[in-house]
């Protein structure tokens, strides 16, 4: 990162890239590839039912059928193929909802924290009011109004979670705004917006990145929860949450229907949060 030669030994402290950054980035890259290529690499049709092949166990257990690597659910649908296809919805929601939430929340937080005055008043009151709504009920209500579908979920996540960014970024921007370098920039003649974008934004960016990746993980979970209560995309498209909901009913006869999507979900959410922390460690110029 820092190409400059060490001046007085401070930059000699090496930053370790860290296994967690590479592992989490690796898992997410794999998942993205799988999501993009799902129609071509999925061994079976994720929607094809075959009642004669119901509840087949995964490949290492006795009594399986070749080609059904992770077994089938009670309707005879291939679990692996459904997980691969479910990755498309999960990642689409994570990336789109996470990014929009971040843009909305961080922008409002930055403005409130740096511009202060009435801007802060309005935004802070809005955050307070917003956070008084119970989030799960709020999202279920929203989906009920908007109707199920990918965009409804994305909108619900943005509407509920922007406060998470706004609160944290507001506090950070406020702390940065009190620093002398901001005063120097103002003396030199930089305008308020210029100062905000050039002096404050780069310093809250590491926090934004961490929050963004956390939010992507949260978006995956929210989508799973909504699928679980059958409010997600539609009952046909395979989603991880939907699979978990179906697998729950037959967990004693066919544990694999529940466990594999659950593991995938778990690893994905974990990877998002670890990716954020790893990126921050690596690219924050200040060793905090």
Partner 1 sequence: MSFLSIRNLSVRLKKGPPLLRRVSLEVAAGEVRGLVGESGAGKSMIGKAVLGILPPSVEVTEGEILLDGVDLLRLPIAERRRRIGASAALIPQDPLTALNPSHRIGPQITDRLVDILGWTRADAEARARALLAEVQIPDPDRVLRSYPHELSGGMRQRVLIASAFAAEPKLIVADEPTTALDVTVQKQILKLIAGMQARHGTALLFVTHDLGVVSKVCQKLSVLYAGMVVEDTSVADFFAAPRHPYSAALLAATPKYTDPSAGLQPVPDTVIATVQAEVAAFDRGTARG
Show the binding pattern over residues 110-149: x = contacts partner 1 (CB under 8 A), - = does not.
------xx--------------------------------
Candidates 208, 207, 212; CA nearest to 98 is 212
CB nearer to partner 1: give 33 or 179. 179
- Residue 184 within binding range of partner 1, rule CB under 8 A: yes
Q: Which of 73, 199, 215, 246 binds partner 1 (CB under 8 A)?
A: 199
CB nearer to partner 1: give 84 or 209. 209
CB nearer to partner 1: give 149 or 191. 191
Tell me which stretch binds partner 1 (CB under 8 A): 76-84, 125-133, 144-152, 186-194: 186-194
> What are residue 54's DSSP bridge partners?
none
- Residue 15 within binding range of partner 1, rule CB under 8 A: no
Q: Which of 181, 193, 251, 263 binds partner 1 (CB under 8 A)?
A: 181
Nearest approach, Cβ of residue 189 and partner 1 (Å): 3
CB nearer to partner 1: give 192 or 248. 192
CB nearer to partner 1: give 203 or 273. 203
CB nearer to partner 1: give 136 or 183. 183
Nearest approach, Cβ of residue 105 and partner 1 (Å): 21
- Three-state SS letters, 189-223: CCCHHHHHHHHHHHHHHHHHHHHHHHHHHHHHHHH
How is residue 145 annotated by DSSP? H
| # chain residues binding partner 1, by CB under 8 A | 32
**Which residue in the block uniquely carries the two structure tokens 């009952």?**
235
Candidates 85, 226, 86; CA nearest to 154 is 226
- Residue 189 within binding range of partner 1, rule CB under 8 A: yes
Q: Which of 48, 122, 202, 234 binds partner 1 (CB under 8 A)?
A: 202
CB nearer to partner 1: give 199 or 281. 199
> What are residue 78's DSSP bridge partners?
72
CB count in 10 Å sphere of residue 114: 26
- Residue 236 within binding range of partner 1, rule CB under 8 A: no
Nearest approach, Cβ of residue 178 and partner 1 (Å): 8
CB 273 within 8 A of CB 214: yes
Helices (H) then strands (E): counts for the chain: 10, 0
Rounded CA gap, 91 and 34, in Å? 10
CB 42 within 8 A of CB 84: yes
Q: Which of 185, 245, 257, 269 binds partner 1 (CB under 8 A)?
A: 185
72 in helix, strand or coil?
strand
Tell me which stretch binds partner 1 (CB under 8 A): 46-54, 135-143, 151-159, 279-287: 279-287
Structure tokens that stand for 130 in this block: 């917003």
Alpha helices in 42-116 (DSSP H): 79-115
CB proximity list for 34: less than 8 A, separation 6 or greater: 41, 84, 87
Binding site for partner 1 (CB under 8 A): 2-8, 10-11, 116-117, 179-181, 183-191, 194, 198-199, 202-203, 205, 285-287
């Amino acid at each position: 990162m820092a190409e400059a030669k060490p001046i007085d030994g401070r930059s000699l402290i090496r930053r370790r890239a860290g296994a967690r950054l590479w592992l989490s980035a690796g898992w997410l890259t794999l998942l993205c590839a799988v999501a993009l290529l799902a129609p071509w690499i999925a061994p079976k049709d994720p929607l094809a039912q075959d009642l004669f092949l119901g509840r087949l166990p995964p490949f290492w257990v006795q009594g399986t059928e070749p080609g059904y690597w992770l077994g089938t659910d009670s309707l005879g649908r291939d679990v692996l193929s459904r997980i691969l296809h479910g990755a498309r919805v999960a990642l689409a929601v994570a990336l789109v909802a996470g990014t929009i939430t971040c843009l909305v929340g961080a922008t409002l937080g930055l403005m409130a924290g740096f511009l202060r005055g009435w801007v802060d008043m309005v935004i802070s009151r809005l955050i307070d009011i917003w956070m008084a709504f119970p989030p799960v009920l709020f999202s279920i209500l929203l989906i009920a109004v908007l109707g199920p579908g990918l965009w409804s979920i994305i909108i619900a996540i943005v509407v509920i979670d922007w406060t998470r960014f706004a609160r944290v970024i507001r506090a950070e921007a406020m702390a940065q705004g009190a620093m002398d370098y901001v005063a120097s920039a103002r003396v030199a003649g930089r305008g308020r917006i210029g100062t905000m974008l050039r002096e404050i934004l780069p310093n809250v960016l590491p926090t934004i990145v961490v929050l963004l990746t956390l939010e992507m993980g949260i978006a995956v979970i929210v989508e799973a929860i909504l699928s679980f209560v059958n409010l997600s995309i539609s009952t046909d498209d395979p989603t991880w949450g939907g699979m978990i909901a179906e697998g729950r009913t037959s967990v004693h006869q066919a544990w694999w229907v529940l466990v594999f999507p659950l593991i995938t979900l778990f690893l994905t959410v974990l990877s998002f949060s670890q990716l954020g922390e790893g990126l921050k460690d690596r690219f924050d110029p200040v060793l905090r």
